[in-house]
Homo-oligomer: A and B are copies of this chain.
Amino acid sequence: MKKRQLGPCVTFFPQPATLICTSDRQDKINLMMASWVGIVSKTPPTIAVSLHHDRQTYANIMAGKVFSVNLVPARLAVAADACGLVSGSVADKHQLTGLEVVPGTVEGVFLVADSPLNVECRWLREVELGDYRLVMGEIVEIHACESAFDDNGQADVRTFDPLVYLGGLREYWSLGSKTADAYSAGSVLLKKQA
């Protein structure tokens, strides 16, 4: 396969499109679009979010030490993108997008009501990386859309309909079809070798 060298830059890896919900000391809510988001530990369950240090969201997290990460379903792509186009210090994201928020279980945490998956986090630690801050939050509670689950408690990702962000391309995509089961599909190769 012929390849092109791009130099050091950000990649085209698929990342989750999420809305980070925070509030300031006056309980003014802010919503930030974030895709530099991912699980980083199970002991304890920890999520990491990287964001520019001059963002209102970062100031809010530093002040309150709590935040929520809300999955963006594909149908909310436009509203979520609008949250990435304007700062919470100059615009009311609720007025702009019509997105409602509701209180979480932890004091000071608010959740995007229309998101099918909300993750409540408590600030754990952070790392300075140039202009960015990698904020790690311990996952305190997860709220998932009830209708996604069958009688066995198995969830169907199509109900969540997660929006995928491709950073290097600046594009949002939906999921297509299930390719394979993880920790399972590869066992055919192990059996062949045995």
Q: How large is the interface on A (under 10, 10 to 19, 20 to 34, 35 or more residues)?
A: 35 or more
A174 an interface residue at 8 Å Cβ cutoff?
yes
Count of identical protomers in the assembly: 2
Q: By the criterion CB–CB under 8 Å, are A41 and B71 in contact? A: no
Chain B neighbourhood of A57, CB < 8 A: none
Q: By the criterion CB–CB under 8 Å, are A131 and B190 in contact? A: no
Q: Give the shortest distance, in Å, between A94 (CB) and chain B (any CB).
A: 12
- With A37-B38, A180-B81 given, is the CB distance from A13 to B4 under 8 Å? no
Per-position 1/0 for A179-194, Cβ under 8 A of B = 1111111111110010
Q: How far is the CA of A145 from the CA of B71 in the complex (A)?
A: 30
A79 an interface residue at 8 Å Cβ cutoff?
yes
A42 an interface residue at 8 Å Cβ cutoff?
yes
Chain B neighbourhood of A59, CB < 8 A: none
Q: Give the shortest distance, in Å, between A187 (CB) and chain B (any CB).
A: 6
Binding site for B on A (CB under 8 A): 1-16, 18, 36-48, 50, 69, 71, 74, 77-86, 91, 95-97, 105, 113-114, 116-119, 125, 127, 129-132, 134, 136, 138-147, 149, 154-155, 157, 160, 162-190, 193
